[in-house]
Amino acid sequence: MKRTILYLLFFVSFIQIEAQEKEIISKTTSINTVESKLVVRPFSLKNGRKIRAQIFSYNKKTKIVALRKVDLKIINKELSEFSKEDKQFILEWVNLNKSFTSPKGRRYKEIIEDKYPNNNVFVGATSGFLEATGPISQLLSSEFRYITPANEFKQTHIHPEPGVWNWDFPDGWIEFAEKNNQLVRIHGPISPQCSKWAMNDERKPEELEQNLQEFMTALCRRYNGKKNVVWMDVVNETVNPDGTWKQAMPGITWEVPWEKMGYIKTPATFKHLGDSIPKYIVQAFQIANKEAPDIKLVLNQHLGMEESAWNKVKDMVLYLRSIGLRVDGIGWQAHIKLIKDDPSQWETNSVNTKELSELISWAHQNDLEFHVTENNIHVKPENENKVEEQAPIFSGIVKTLLEHRHTGVVTWNIWSIQNTDHTRARIPKVKIGLWNRQLEPTQSYYEVQKLLENPPVLPNEG
């Protein structure tokens, strides 16, 4: 009899545990899509410990994060216990689970398909984290013709050090794009945003070269032939505003450690290169040319319209082509800074618009597509809601692109979908997008929408 009772107690306990597990799974499914490869991930704590889990809930008042481990156990951690990268990941997850206000009028994607059937105008957006559900993902899939994953295709994520490979996140993006009939831009595989292993001051040139070759070869082979992968920003942020090459620097900082690989002599014809070009740039394009014949290859540049920097970029493109390498487009990041005394801030007069227009003309004259790749606006926190200052900047850039729509391909990618704090800035900043923090479309959204619906009339159309 006692044995029977023990068996019954054990059975009841088992049923209760199973019910709790099902409840956990049910609750989690309402937050994340379990079938998504991106739900479970490793989280790094400041004490060096790693936990493989998914976010279960977040309490904004107490800043407590509940993680559901792979064994279905729920553990609670304070937000301050996580690494800087994971803090940002968690906060982005919170944003994903807000509700949003659907804009009036037609979606950008619908307008593009209707008004620009010749595939000469593309509008895309970036998300730093992909989930199969949530308002940001809904906006991403409903509004934009293409998507640009922020960091998941970079060396620091996929192949941060010898023997380490991480494909879940980039593969998840491809699945997301295929599901939503969207195109993909592979962004910045070789860039200053690289792993701590690569930035280690003791790293030898031959180690960096091997890592670059392994990474670029594997990346290109994996995604070449995917019909929705259209562009790749092969190298990113190679030139400083004064026209010098971005270099390796001491310590772990925003640098280009690949520069340690050395330089290749260049002919005097390309005077803006000086007498050489970094070897890593040439190698990255050599590998992309060989292993990714189906993907359009772009050279992406940051900062503003500095003449010395763009002269070097132009000569870089022409040199690469002179040695038989394919370059299909140039990109400008377009992080616009509306901060007093910031030398790189965008002037809201016609000067920078004129320079941008001239740059697009040069690109099209040289059979290059022109891409605005990372457009957002940086402002001081107290100026976040001054939409009347922000909207003309977004619309001014889009208008300039549309004025060149008949001479070549132009693309515009919004980097910040909604307003968020700039977590890496030295001074407090807010990154401005097309939706505010409550995920309501702003004046900026509607001015761009109006432009897409009614593009500028060109002289030969009058």
Q: What is the 3-state secondary structure (H, E, C) of 73-88?
A: CEEEEEHHHECHHHHH
Mean pLDDT of 21-27: 34
Q: Are residues 55 and 142 in the same domain?
A: no
Q: Are residues 242 and 123 in the same domain?
A: yes
CATH classification of the domain holding 311:
3.20.20.80
- Interior/surface letters 23-43, b for 16+ CB within 10 angstroms, e for the rest: eeeeebeebbbeebbbbebeb
CATH classification of the domain holding 80:
2.30.30.700
Q: Are residues 43 and 147 in the same domain?
A: no
| Chain mean position to CA 67 | 26
**Ranges of H-type helices in 250-382:** 279-291, 307-322, 350-365
Residue 98's pLDDT band, with cuts at 50, 70 and 90, is: low
Residues 405, 115: contact at Cβ < 8 Å?
no
Q: Are residues 196 and 74 in the same domain?
A: no
With a pLDDT cut of 70, the percent of the chain lying above it is: 85
Average pLDDT of the residues of the chain: 86
pTM greater than 0.85 (yes/no) = no
Residues 81, 69: contact at Cβ < 8 Å?
no
Q: Are residues 37 and 114 in the same domain?
A: no
Q: Are residues 438 and 312 in the same domain?
A: yes
The residues that bridge with 410 in the sheet, in sequence order, are: 121, 370
Q: Are residues 234 and 85 in the same domain?
A: no
Residues 70, 63: contact at Cβ < 8 Å?
no
**pLDDT tens string 152-171:** 999 999 999 999 999 988 99
Measured at the CA of 325, the angle between CA 321 and CA 331, to 5 degrees, comes to 75
Whether residue 96 has pLDDT greater than 70:
no
Q: Are residues 45 and 147 in the same domain?
A: no
* Residue 164 maps to a domain: yes
Q: Domains in the chain: how many in total?
A: 2
Whether residue 70 has pLDDT greater than 90:
no
With a pLDDT cut of 90, the percent of the chain lying above it is: 65
* Residue 127 maps to a domain: yes
* Residue 133 maps to a domain: yes
pLDDT at 129: 56
**pLDDT tens string 364-379:** 999 999 999 999 999 9
Q: Which of 248, 261, 262 is nearest to 200 (CA)?
A: 248
Whether residue 331 has pLDDT greater than 70:
yes
pLDDT at 13: 37
For residue 41, the enclosing domain spans: 30-97
Residue ending a domain, choose from 97, 121, 144: 97
Please, what is the angle between helix 279-291 and helix 307-322, to 10°?
Answer: 50
- Phi, then psi, of 85 in degrees rounded to 5: -65, -40
Q: Are residues 218 and 324 in the same domain?
A: yes
* Residue 381 maps to a domain: yes
**pLDDT tens string 313-328:** 999 999 999 999 999 9
Q: Are residues 126 and 38 in the same domain?
A: no
Q: Are residues 178 and 327 in the same domain?
A: yes
- Sorted by sequence, the CB contacts under 8 Å of residue 54 that are 6+ apart come out as 28, 32, 39, 40, 41, 67, 68
* Residue 146 maps to a domain: yes
227 or 27: which leads in pLDDT:
227
**pLDDT tens string 384-431:** 999 999 999 999 999 999 999 999 999 999 999 999 888 777 788 999
Mean pLDDT of 108-126: 96
Residues 433, 376: contact at Cβ < 8 Å?
yes
Whether residue 7 has pLDDT greater than 50:
no
pLDDT at 2: 47
Whether residue 237 has pLDDT greater than 50:
yes
368 or 32: which leads in pLDDT:
368
Which of 47-61, 134-148, 313-327 is the most confident on average? 313-327
* Residue 10 maps to a domain: no
Residue ending a domain, choose from 81, 97, 113: 97
Residue ending a domain, choose from 97, 117, 146: 97
* Residue 24 maps to a domain: no
* Residue 416 maps to a domain: yes
Q: Are residues 108 and 89 in the same domain?
A: no
